[in-house]
């Protein structure tokens, strides 16, 4: 008899067909999240699940899911998982690192340029029929990207992919990370480690790429924004909640910094309405990994993780190896 899985969102048909070769698939084939009660009810008889960031997997969600062995996120971030609750329930968790690094780095650069050169406001203004002729002192004088200092907070795989691109624009790169990169990795992305205050004071473009956790909650607030240059732009392609949105709105209103470009927000998809009134902020709806090829690669990787785990093979992107090891041990005991 096939094991049962839940797929919590409309994915690519090719991925669903692949999963259906191995499993009995309960498919929520809509591109909107399941209600928490619905999610819990549909997980009750499942061995595994493919989840998205909008599916909160905690104690309550898995309380009735006694067969559940693995939850496989279609995302590199996993702040929707309560890992402590999953450990207590003996459920393995996986994510999709690696496959979205380059695409998300591209998005960061798109936002750097959009913010520096005011592309979105200029487009909106032109469409509104305001263009009367070319002006030397046009309203869109922006800031140069080339030769400016690129600052990166959080220098994991995506941070390094962002840094590598800076060489093409002759930009010095500084970064802050809890752990300094190995010398060879620093050399590969031509980046220098600095403390957080030096990063804030010197970056012309500050790209945030730390994962969200209690430790990074509001790690950019009014105190940090006050240290930034008046011509600086803040770029967030990581997670809402890393930035204190109210403090950022205030800084943008006061022109304490030149601009921001944000792909993620506290409480998204709800958005502080003040952002909509500001012309020095670019807003995108969490599209960091959104290229067709990358979203397919993410879905396939999530399927790989689930297929391996439910066949007793260690999945490539395990988040909680101790849970996996404990279950393997338990299975051996039972067999013996």
Cβ within 8 Å of residue 143, ≥6 positions away: 116, 117, 204, 231, 233, 258
Site string for ligand 8YV, 234-273 (x = CB under 6 A): ----------------------------------------
**Short-list 45, 92, 51, CA closest to 302:** 51
Shortest distance (Å) from residue 192 CB to ligand 8YV: 27
Q: What are phi and psi of 93, to 5 degrees?
A: -130, 140
Nearer to ligand 8YV, 231 or 291 (CB): 291
Nearest C-alpha neighbor of 148 from the set 104, 98, 113: 113
Nearer to ligand 8YV, 77 or 142 (CB): 77
Which one of the listed residues 42, 268, 295, 327 is annotated catalytic?
268
State the angle between helix axes of 157-165 and 101-117 in degrees (0 to 180), rounded to the nearest 10.
Answer: 50
Question: CB under 6 A: which stretch of 28-36, 70-78, 166-174, 250-258 binds ligand 8YV?
Answer: 70-78
Interaction mask 285-304, ligand 8YV, x per CB under 6 A: -x-xxx--------------
Residue 53 as a binder of ligand 8YV (CB under 6 A): the answer is yes
Confirm whether 165 is a catalytic residue: no
Stretch that binds ligand 8YV, among 21-29, 72-80, 106-114, 115-123 (CB under 6 A): 72-80
Q: Binding of ligand 8YV at residue 150 (CB under 6 A)?
A: no
Among 77, 154, 240, 315, binds ligand 8YV (CB under 6 A): 77
Say whether residue 52 binds ligand 8YV (CB under 6 A): yes
Neighbour tally for 330: CB within 10 Å: 11
Under rule CB under 6 A, residue 159 binds ligand 8YV: no
Describe the crossing of helices 13-22 and 292-310 by its angle, rounded to 10 degrees.
Answer: 10
Q: Is 100 a residue that touches ligand 8YV (CB under 6 A)? A: yes
Would you state the structure tokens that stand for residue 55, as one six-digit string? 């599916």
Note the residues at the interface with ligand 8YV (CB under 6 A).
52-53, 74-77, 100, 286, 288-290
The catalytic site residues sit at 239, 268, 286
């Amino acid at each position: 008899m096939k094991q049962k899985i839940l797929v919590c969102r409309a994915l690519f048909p090719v991925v669903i067909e692949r999963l259906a070769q191995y499993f009995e698939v309960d498919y929520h084939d809509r591109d909107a999240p399941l209600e928490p009660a619905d999610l819990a009810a549909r997980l009750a008889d499942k061995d595994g699940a493919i989840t998205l960031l909008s599916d909160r997997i905690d104690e309550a969600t898995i309380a009735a899911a006694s067969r559940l062995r693995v939850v496989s996120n279609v995302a590199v971030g996993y702040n929707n998982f309560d890992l402590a609750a999953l450990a207590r329930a003996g459920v393995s968790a996986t994510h999709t690192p690696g496959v979205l690094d380059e695409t998300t780095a591209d998005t960061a650069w798109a936002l750097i340029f959009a913010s520096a050169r005011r592309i979105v406001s200029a487009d909106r203004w032109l469409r509104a029929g305001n263009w009367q002729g070319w002006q030397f002192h046009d309203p869109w004088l922006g800031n140069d990207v080339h030769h400016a200092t690129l600052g990166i907070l959080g220098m994991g795989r995506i941070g390094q992919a962002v840094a590598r691109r800076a060489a093409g624009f002759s930009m010095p790169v500084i970064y802050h990370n809890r752990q300094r990169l190995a010398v060879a990795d620093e050399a590969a992305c031509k980046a220098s480690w600095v403390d957080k205050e030096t990063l804030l004071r010197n970056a012309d473009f500050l790209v945030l790429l730390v994962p969200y956790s209690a430790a990074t909650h509001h790690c950019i607030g009014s105190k940090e924004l006050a240290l930034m240059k008046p011509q600086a732009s803040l770029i967030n392609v990581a997670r809402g909640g890393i930035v204190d949105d109210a403090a950022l709105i205030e800084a943008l209103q006061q022109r304490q910094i030149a601009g921001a470009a944000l792909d993620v927000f506290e409480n998204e998809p709800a958005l502080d309405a003040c952002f909509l009134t500001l012309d020095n902020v670019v807003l995108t709806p969490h599209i960091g990994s959104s290229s067709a090829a990358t979203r397919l690669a993410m879905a396939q990787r999530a399927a790989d993780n689930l297929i391996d785990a439910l066949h007793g093979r260690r999945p490539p992107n395990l988040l909680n190896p101790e849970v996996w090891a404990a279950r393997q041990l338990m299975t051996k005991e039972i067999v013996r």
